[in-house]
Structure 1
Amino acid sequence: MITFEHVSVQYADAPAHSLHDVTLEIPEGELVLVVGPTGSGKSTLLRTINGLVPHFSGGTLTGRVAVDGLDTAEHRPRDLATVVGLVEQNPSSTFVTDVVEDEVAYGMETMGLDSTTIRRRVEETLDLFGLTPLRARALRTLSGGQQQRVAIAALFAAGPRVLVLDEPTSALDPVAAEEVLASLHRIVHDLGVTVVLAEHRLERVVHHADRVVLVDEGRVSELLDPAEAMLRSQIYPPVVGLSRLVGWSPTPLSIRDARRKAAALREALGTSAPRPVTDLRVIGPADAVVATGVRVVRGGRVVLDGVDLAVARGSVTTLMGRNGAGKSTLLGAIAAQHRLAGGRVRVGAEGIDPHTRSARERVRTVGLVPQQPELLLYADSVAAECAAADHDFGAAPGTARGLLDRISGGIEPAVHPRDLSEGQRLELALAVILSGSPEVLLLDEPTRGLDYGAKKRLGEMLTSLAAQGTTVLLATHDVELAAEVADRVVILADGEVVTDGAAREVLASSPAFAPQVTKVLLPQTWLTVAEVAGALARIA
């Protein structure tokens, strides 16, 4: 179905190939998972399948890529649209209409399908992806996760034989992610559609995959069995980390399979217990964020309805909840990005109202890294972006670059920000904001596009910042990150706070937001592989 013959890709000014001598054949009707570190070439590999590389992304492609017999070098993306469709990491950039139902129908309209067929496919697709309640909603009023589901649905409705998806669950809550992946699983196995997807949150998707391809520094493996791939990969989900720790064989990929092997581990851990929950880190006498009765109305809808929240200085607090619950809006309200319809916000040691201050005045008190980090980037190179941040915030030269190296492990200074992966753009935007040393750091879905190594570095930095007195408040669907770094978890639903408590208590008791290790070892309340490893070491 999809054939790569000695394919190499190199972008102008890049020091190395993004892809190097790839030879691979993906058969029809399989779900193939592409796994690799941030910036390893996964997105480039996906974009060669529909011809965006090299037709629109530039660079030089050698070798041959063919989809259903069509050479992508000889056929432009529009010529391949009926065969292959691509949803990229930022799906909202591809929208061409204003309303959910119209977006799902648009592709079929451009293909000239009759109205009866379009109506039937729209209804079937909205139902399949759980979008029927949102059919009349304006796209701009949807959460990032809801927009992602719309983009996938619109692609599927047009009927291509190959779906290519770049980080399809990165903005989805755990329940919505499982629903989307189950839908993809059905269309692969029931309809014979070929799905190729790249995803960093392997805990969500690896057990759905028929085959796995490993990518590292532009080199691509052969098609592998998922369990074999996880044994070979430097990147793997917590359930595989737990298996490696205790030596389970064969390697379980799902919670169910791991639980079947975990009886002896639970018994061994029964003599120990997770370290008791400690008090939240508090440095200083006051809360760093106080939201009282916050109400926000957007597009005629009440998005936040009387939210009360107090966040201790020097703590790490995660906002969680389903897509559209109001997490991003709450961050925006705290950062004065959204106008309040009621209530008030106070931030920082001085308790300033950010809604009464200019952007330049409030930037040292509260900094926000949005879901779309490219909104903060405007220079023509990474080096220029870092230098501009140092200048704008009055920081010592090299401050932003030093932060970036600490977060990312190294990004070439001459690269244009648009040529970075989604995860690398996020890392750059975070370095830019941190160069201003804000008292309160707000992050909206900060692990989108980050592999486990990058996520570990991010977690270590957030924990270090909190220990130094910075208050960290992040909205995330990443339960594994919350398990690693959070002191406290707040769950929102329909614009209201429904749960607020210590991280272990909230996560271990939640069917939707419990991390993998907790699900495997219930009723015990371990959160991470590192916790289990520490306990086993103490027992030994």
Structure 2
Amino acid sequence: MIHFEHVSITQPDATTPVIADATFSIRDGDLCLVMGRTGTGKSTLLGAINGLVPHSSGATLSGDVTVAGRSTRTHRPRDLADVVGWVGQNPLAGFVTDVVEDEVAYGMEQLGLSPSVMRKRVEETLDLMGIADLRRRSLMELSGGQQQRVAIAAVLAAQPRVLVLDEPTSALDPTAAQDVLAAIATLVHDVGLTVVLAEHRLERVMHEADTALWLPGDGRVVSGTASDILSMADTTPPLVELATAMGWPEVPLSVRAARRRIRDHGPHLDLKAAPELREAMSWRGDGHPPVAQLRDLRVTYGDITAVAGVDLDLHAGTTVALMGRNGSGKSSLLWALQGAVPSSGQVSVDGRDPRRVGDDEARRLVSLVPQSPADLLYLADVDAECAQADRESGVAEGTARSLLLRLSADLPGERNPRDLSEGQRLALVLAIQLAASPRVVCLDEPTRGLDYAMKRELTRIIAALAAQGTCVVVSTHDVEFAAQTAERTIVLAEGEVVADGTTRQVCSSSPSFAPQVTKVFHPADVMTVAEISAARVTS
């Protein structure tokens, strides 16, 4: 179905190709997983499949890419629209209408389908993606996860033979991500759709993959079975870490496969170690003073109540994970804490209300990194953004650049932020926001677009902030990141707090929010591979 023959791709102004002499094929009806560190060229490779590279990106392509027998050299994206469907990292950037139902129908209108066919497909696709209740909602009113589901639905409605997805679950809660991937897997197995999917959260999708492509970052594209590629790649989801720690000869692709291996071959946890493990991540909030207090906090948008009378104490020196399904009010709560959206009730940070102070003081009280980091980038290059952050924060020159390096993102100073990947943009904004050393740091889906190494570095930075007395509140759908990072987890539903406790208590007791290691070793009370390595085991 898809063939790359000696393909090399060089970005504008680059001296070396991001993809060099790549030759591989993706069979008809396969689900192919594309993996690699941030900035290694995954999005570039995906763009070559539907002709965005070289026709729209400015990149130079040598070699030949054919899809269903059509060469992307001679067929532009519009000439491949009936064959290839594309969903990029930022769904909002691809919307062309204002209402969900219209967006789902738009692609079919451009292909000239009859109204009766379009109506039937719209209904089927809305049900398939679980968004029928959103059909008349404005796209701008939706949460990031809801927008992502609409973007996928709009492409699926045109019924392409190849579906290309760039981080399709990055903004989805665990249950929604599972539903979306299950729908995609159904199309692969029952309809024969070919899917090429780039994803940083490999634990969500690797059990469905037939084949995989790994981009090490040196221009190569390594192809093979998912298990073989995961065994050699430098991207390490929990089951890969577990297989390495246990010395298993191959990587299990699912929790079920891992549990069966442990059942048949061991090793088994000594449950006497569980109390020690529970002490490893207890919530220390009781030993720290509240730095922020919310009382009867409410946020409404017209007839929609996003935050419904929340009472919370947030403690200095602690890390809090804010979780819940898409649209539960997590982002609205963070924006209200910062004072950036109209709200009622009481908000106090160090005795001051961020809604009623000047911008400079508000920046030192609460800093927020939004879901779309590019919204905060407006200067011509990376160096200018870092220098401006240092000046606005009143800190020594080079502070923001130093934070960027700690995030493992050594970005060229002259690079325009618009030319960065989603993960690189997020790292830049995070460095800019942290430069002010605020009392409360709010991160809205900070791992979106980050690889495992960058997430581990972000965990270390968050731990360092907490050690300095900063309260860090992280809205996230990434349960593995929450397990590694947060002491306390708060779960929201329909704008209300429905669970609040230690991360171990809240996540390990939930089938939706439990990390993979917890599921593998249930009923042992463990959450990370590091805990498994530290625990006593028996063969």
| Secondary structure, aligned partner of 2:323 | strand
1:318 aligns to what SS in structure 2? strand
Measure, in 1, the Cα distance between the counterparts of 2:220 and 2:135.
40
What is the alpha-carbon distance in structure 1 between the residues aligned to residue 527 and residue 369 of structure 2?
A: 26
Secondary structure (helix, strand or coil) at the match of 2:212 reads strand
Q: Quick check: 1:14–1:415 contact (8 Å CA) kept in 2? A: no
Matches within 5 A, 1:99-114: 99-114=99-114
Correspondence for 1:276: 278
For the residue of structure 1 that corresponds to 2:277, the secondary structure is coil
Query: Once the 2 structures are TM-superposed, how far is the Cα of residue 16 of structure 1 from its aligned partner?
Result: 3.0
Q: Deviations over 1:359-380 (max 9, x none)?
A: 3330111100000001111122
1:245-275: CA deviation from partner (whole Å, max 9, x where unpaired): 1133443110111111223656342242243
Shift of 1:2: 1.3
Q: Which residue of 1 aligns with 2:496?
A: 496
TM-score (norm 1): 0.96
Q: Secondary structure at the match of 1:272?
A: helix
- Map 1:10-409 onto structure 2 (within 5 A): 10-263=10-263, 265=266, 267-273=268-274, 274-277=276-279, 280-281=283-284, 286-340=289-343, 342-347=344-349, 349=350, 351-409=351-409
**Which amino acid in structure 2 is aligned with residue 308 of structure 1?**
D
Determine the C-alpha separation between the residues in 1 that align with 2:175 and 2:358: 39
Q: Structure 1 residues 13 and 388, CA, compared in 2 at 3 Å: closer, same or farther? A: farther
Give the AA of the match of 2:304. R
The one-letter code sitting in structure 2 at the alignment partner of 1:384 is A
Please list, as runs of the form range in 1=range in 2, the aligned pairs for 1:497-512 lying within 5 A after superposition.
Answer: 497-512=497-512
CA contact (8 A) 1:41 1:216 kept: no
Bigger mean CA offset, 255-264 vs 433-442 = 255-264
Give a deviation string over 1:393-424, Cα, whole Å, max 9, x none: 22211111000000124222222211211111
**Is contact 1:213-1:220 (8 Å) kept?**
no
1:262 is paired with a residue whose SS is helix
Deviates more, 1:395-404 or 1:7-16: 7-16
How far 1:282 moved relative to its partner?
5.4
Query: Structure 1 residue 285: deviation in Å?
Result: 6.1
- Cross-structure match for 1:524: 524
Q: 1:528 to 1:424 in 2, by over 3 A?
A: same
Gaps in structure 2 of 5+ consecutive residues: none
Tell me the distance in 2 between the aligned counterparts of 1:498 and 1:283: 20
Q: Which moved more, 1:446-455 or 1:401-410?
A: 401-410
- Quick one: which amino acid aligns to residue 343 of structure 1? G
> Which shifted more, 213-222 or 159-168?
213-222
Q: Distance in 2 between matches of 1:473 and 1:164?
A: 33
| SS of equivalent residue, structure 1 residue 82 | coil
* CA displacement at 1:495 relative to structure 2: 0.9
* One-letter amino acid of the structure 2 residue matched with residue 344 of structure 1: Q
1:170-212 residue CA offsets vs partner (Å, 9 max, x unmatched) = 0011111111111111111111111101001011000011100
* Residues 235 and 285 (structure 1), Cα distance of their counterparts in 2 relative to 1, 3 Å cut: closer
Q: Distance in 2 between matches of 1:299 and 1:421?
A: 35
Please state how far the C-alpha of 1:156 moved relative to its aligned partner.
0.6
Give the drift of 1:238.
0.6
What is the CA–CA distance in structure 2 between the aligned matches of 1:336 and 1:440, rounded to whole Å? 12
Correspondence list, 1:408-419, <5 A: 408-419=408-419
User: 1:65 and 1:242 mapped to 2: Cα distance?
Assistant: 37
Aligned residues of 1:490 and 1:499 also touching (Cα < 8 A): yes
Q: Which moved more, 1:419-428 or 1:11-20?
A: 11-20
- 1:421 corresponds to which residue? 421
2:273 is paired with a residue of what secondary structure? coil
Unaligned residue ranges in structure 1 (runs of 5+): none
**Percent of paired sites with the same residue:** 53
Q: Secondary structure at the match of 2:146?
A: helix
User: Offset of 1:25 from its aligned partner?
Assistant: 1.3
Secondary structure of the equivalent of 1:188? helix
Task: Give, in whole Å, the separation in 2 of the partners of 1:308 and 1:10.
Answer: 53
The answer to whether the 8 A contact 1:446-1:474 is kept is: yes
The structure-2 alpha-carbon separation of the partners of 1:34 and 1:353, relative to structure 1 and needing over 3 Å to count, comes to: same
3-state SS, counterpart of residue 489 of structure 2: strand
> For residues 299 and 117 of structure 1, what CA distance do their matches in structure 2 show?
35
The DSSP-based 3-state class of the residue aligned with 2:140 is: helix
* Partners of 1:494 and 1:393 in 2: CA distance: 36
State how far apart, in whole Å, the 1-side matches of 2:198 and 2:245 are.
26
How much has 1:283 moved relative to structure 2? 10
Q: 1:395 to 1:178 in 2, by over 3 A?
A: same
Hey, what's the Cα distance between the residues in 1 that align with 2:130 and 2:391?
Answer: 47
**Alpha carbon RMSD of aligned pairs, Å?**
1.8
Please give the alpha-carbon distance, in whole angstroms, between the structure 1 residues aligned to 2:481 and 2:412: 27
Q: Distance in 1 between matches of 2:54 and 2:379?
A: 24
Aligned partners of 1:283 and 1:313 also within 8 Å: no
Separation (CA, whole Å) in 2 of partners of 1:22 and 1:353? 56
Q: Is the 8 A contact 2:369 2:429 kept in 1?
A: yes
Equivalent AA in structure 2 for residue 311 of structure 1? L
For residue 381 of structure 1, report the CA deviation from its aligned partner.
1.6
* Most deviating of 459-468 and 253-262: 253-262
Deviation at 1:228, TM superposition (A): 1.0
Distance 2:307 2:266 in 1: 43
Task: Give me the whole-angstrom Cα distance separating, in 1, the residues matched to 2:266 and 2:175.
Answer: 28
Give the CA deviation at 1:240: 2.2
Q: Is the Cα contact below 8 Å between 1:122 and 1:157 reproduced in 2?
A: yes
CA distance in 1, matches of 2:149, 2:220: 28
The amino acid across from 1:214 in the alignment is: W
Q: CA deviation at 1:280?
A: 3.6
- The number of aligned residues is 536
Letter in 1 for 2:300: V
Conserved in 2, the CA contact under 8 Å of 1:489 and 1:502? yes
Cα distance in 1 between the residues matched to 2:19 and 2:250 = 32
Deviates more, 1:309-318 or 1:66-75: 66-75
* Structure 1 residues 436-494: Cα deviation after superposition (integer angstroms, max 9, x where no partner): 11111000000001111110000011011101111100100000011001110000011
| SS of residue paired to 2:65 | strand
What is the SS of the residue equivalent to 2:116?
Answer: helix
TM norm structure 2: 0.96
Q: Secondary structure at the match of 1:482?
A: helix
Equivalent pair of 1:284/1:313 in contact (CA under 8 Å):
no
Counterparts in 2 of 1:194 and 1:299: CA distance versus 1, 3 Å:
farther
Q: Is residue 319–residue 486 contact of structure 2 (8 Å, CA) maintained in 1?
A: yes
